Amino acid sequence: MEKYKEGPATIKTPTYHGQGRSQLKRSLDNSFAPGHPLANLPTLFQKQQQARLQYYHHRPPVYVDKPSFGLRDFELQDTLGTGTFGRVFLTKFKPSSKYYAMKVLKKSEVVRLKQVEHLLSEKEILASIRFPFVVDLFCTFQDDSNLYMLLEYVVGGELFTHLRRAGRFTNDMTRFYASEIVLAIEYLHSKDIIYRDLKPENLLIDHQGHIKITDFGFAKKVVDRTWTLCGTPEYLAPEIIQSKGHGKAVDWWALGILIFEMLAGYPPFFDDNSFGIYEKILMGKVQFSAHFDAMAKDLLKRLLTSDRTRRLGNMMGGSEDVKRHKWFRG
């Protein structure tokens, strides 16, 4: 769970190292149910995506406000994550014995850090959407001390963990995850929602191996542009750094960063401090390792275009331009 910030976080870039791509496949084979979608790519992954999209088609958001709920109705178990003003717990709903992820936020800290507006925005956005590659918000309630958000529990953990364990992903694995993220971005943008925090830490893997986007603390409903400075340094688009006002194009830039990181094991722009990262982003020079194929490099160059009016995904063809790129055809 991330702390909400008015400005970019100052973080140190972790040390990246390759551990062999076969290690990731072994971990996935041991973690997920039979029929994992990474088998038999690329034909199976398209069929599974289509089936999941059909399942969700015309289904309303699952969110309901439950002021009558209280902690007495839940059994809090393991801590799944911690943040500046709260924790996320694995919790069991006693009446049904179903498991959820419960976000517990201290009211005093939310007010002290002036995050009331951000929190309300996160709740409203999650309550208004439902998509197979986005976590579901089931209900919210509160007591005198805390606010509670009951979210879908995603058992596979963060994509970040699997990527670091593997070192880097294959083209097929990266294409599989990226295609689901493209569909999620397309869905959010159709509702005028900018996500603004795409990174491996905010991508969960479900029991079938599919992506679930989580943590909507930086998400915002915007028709045109916004000027709030927020995000993670390595993933910031140039227009955010330059305070030019930004819109949906920032999510396509972040997709380019993410695809590069999945293929390389590290982001294209990194440094020991955030200002060094910003300088490299504004310079815009991307160095590709020898294992990047021509189609991957072409896609990334088009996504990591500093001029947002020429950035893939933000031109006349919109998300269709991204989906039609040759890299996604295998």
Give residue 45's Cα distance to chain centre.
Answer: 19
Active-site residue identified among 136, 143, 144, 197: 197
269's CB contacts (< 8 A; 6+ apart) are: 234, 257, 277, 280, 281, 286
Give residue 246's Cα distance to chain centre.
Answer: 18
- Which 3 state secondary structure label does DSSP give 221? strand
- Identify whether the C-beta of residue 187 lies closer than 8 Å to the C-beta of residue 147: no
Residue pointed to by tokens 């709030």: 228
Does 94 show up as a binding residue in the annotation? no
Is residue 172 part of the annotated active site? The answer reads: no
Instruction: Supply the DSSP string of 254-305, one letter for each residue.
Output: HHHHHHHHHHHSS-SS--SSHHHHHHHHHHT-----TT--HHHHHHHHHHS-
User: What is the rounded CA–CA span in Å between residue 191 and residue 196?
Assistant: 14
Residues making up the binding site: 103
Give the residue numbers annotated as catalytic, written as ranges: 197
Residues annotated within the binding site for ATP are: 103
